[in-house]
Amino acid sequence: MWRSARSMPEFWRLLLVRMTSQFGDGLFQAGLAGGLLFNPDRAATPWQIAGSFAVLFLPYSLLGPFAGALLDRWDRRVVLVGANLGRLVLTLGVAVLLAVGASDMTVLCGALIVNGFTRFVASGLSASLPHVVPREQVVTMNSVSIAVGATATFLGANFMLVPRWLLGSGDAGAAAIIFIVTIPVTVALALALRFPARVLGPDHTARAIHGSAFYAVATGWLHGARTVFSVPSVAATLAGLAAHRMVFGINTLLVLVIVRHTDVPTVAVAGFGSALVFVAATGSGSFLATVLTPASVKRWGRYRTANGALIAGALIQLAGVGLALPVMVVCGFLLGAAGQMVKLCADSAMQIDVDDALRGHVFAVQDSLFWLSFVGAVAVSAAVIPADGHAPGLAIAGSVIYLLGLAIHATVGRRARPSSQDATARLDLIPPD
């Protein structure tokens, strides 16, 4: 697998951009969480945690599909370069805001713009992948790409503990961590500059959206949503992915509130460490999915693989109903694997079943759904969660959500032509001669 990746120079370069970009994103998100949620200079209630997530992720989630139209109009190399450049400048701005002790809302407003650029980069990388690998290797190389990205995010988030330990958990230490984020972002920018023009697409096919740039952006949501609903394999897997993200949002809030319900002197260290263990376990489950998904798709097809992952998710979620943190960590690992299997099926559906002229639109819709589901679940959970976080009913609700996602996926996915979809899925896993 890795030998195949190294034999495709443009894919390898795309992989390096993803690796450095997501390392920086993991470092940025962990540094921001440490600076706002686990900072002795600041405090955070469940509603404040939900509000932080909403400010960080909702604005771009609503605007993303409009901006996503640009991925199908502009040279995606230019998009990667411009987005990383904007991200670099704004990251410096967030670091300065933390250094001068700006209010939470001011820091979050700066961070949400950084996140917007970061997610624009992520959508561009996913939409570009089919241009740098042979069609028969899209599923396998997408699994490699996602695994590398997840590893880089995990390493970036955990690397944050080193400067936090050296420089402290207050505003000054948080600012220093965000300044360090500029290093991997600069590397990602330099790597993006090395791509030849238009090698990453988009293709100007008969389905391309014509007209002015303003028209393309203004109708981005419409074209993206219409494409999703017109391709059953995409609509089905995105429904399953939304269910997983809702459950992840519930579990994230449960863990954050539980670990914060400790002695104040230790919450900035022990609490943050426990939260990172849970996030790390969930991310580690993604590696298992990278191994399981190609083999599962080859044997059973995308439709059955996603159905099986959602059933497993519902059962695993029930196992954590006691809300014991060690059990939740194990369940987080297994749910990370199940959710990532659904996401890999969704990515493959968008990369294989959607015309390249509309692929950027659809990835932007996926990104919006990804975070709207997460933030919505966090907000609803914050309204009912007790101060100590002990809410087994929320864990049970997560299992029900998985079953609802399964029902939608099974119903909508059945409208696709299973024989055609499975044949395509298997073709994508046949190694080249």
Domain coordinates in residue numbering, the chain: 9-197+210-427
Residue 409 pLDDT:
97
Q: Is the separation of the CB atoms in 160 and 176 below 8 Å? A: no
Name the least confident of 175-189, 290-304, 333-347. 290-304
CATH of 9-197+210-427, one of 1.10.357.10, 1.20.120.1200, 3.40.50.300, 1.20.1250.20: 1.20.1250.20
- Of 37-46, 170-179, 323-332, where does mean pLDDT reach its minimum? 37-46
What was the pLDDT predicted at 334? 95
pTM across the whole model: 0.77
What pLDDT, on a 0 to 100 scale, did the predictor assign at position 428? 42
- pLDDT exceeds 70 at position 312: yes
> What span, in angstroms and rounded, lies between the C-alpha atoms of 249 and 95?
27
CA distance 193 to 48: 39
Per-residue pLDDT, 53:
83
**Res. 42: pLDDT tops 70:** no
**What confidence tens digit (pLDDT) does each residue in 192-221 have?**
999 998 899 887 665 566 555 566 666 777
Higher-confidence residue: 4 or 426? Answer: 4
Torsion of CA 317, 320, 326, 330, to 10 degrees: -30
Statement: residue 433 has pLDDT above 60: no
Q: What is the pLDDT of residue 419?
A: 42
Report the number of secondary-structure helices (H) and strands (E) in the chain: 17, 0
Among the residue ranges 8-17, 19-28, 64-73, 384-393, the one predicted with the least confidence is: 64-73
Nearest by Cα to 301 from 146, 201, 427, 132: 427
| DSSP, residue by residue, 369-380 | HHHHHHHHHHHH
Residue 209: the pLDDT is 60
Task: Tell me: pLDDT of 425 over 50.
Answer: no
pLDDT at 207: 58
Q: Which carries the bigger pLDDT value, residue 415 or residue 255?
A: 255
Query: Percentage of the chain with pLDDT > 70?
Result: 85
When pLDDT is averaged across residues 230-248 and rounded to a whole number, the result is 96
Question: pLDDT > 90: what percent of the chain?
Answer: 45
Pair of tokens at residue 416? 């696709």
> How much is the average pLDDT of 290-304?
90
pLDDT for residue 182 is more than 50? yes
CA distance 313 to 338: 6
In terms of C-beta density within 10 A (0-12 exposed, 13-18 middle, 19 or more buried), how is residue 2 classed? exposed
CA dihedral 104, 110, 112, 113 (to 10 degrees): 170
**How confident is the model at residue 430, as a pLDDT?**
34
Residue 150 is predicted with a pLDDT of 83
φ, ψ at 216 (rounded to 5°): -60, -45
Query: Do residues 249 and 374 make contact, with C-beta atoms less than 8 angstroms apart?
Result: yes
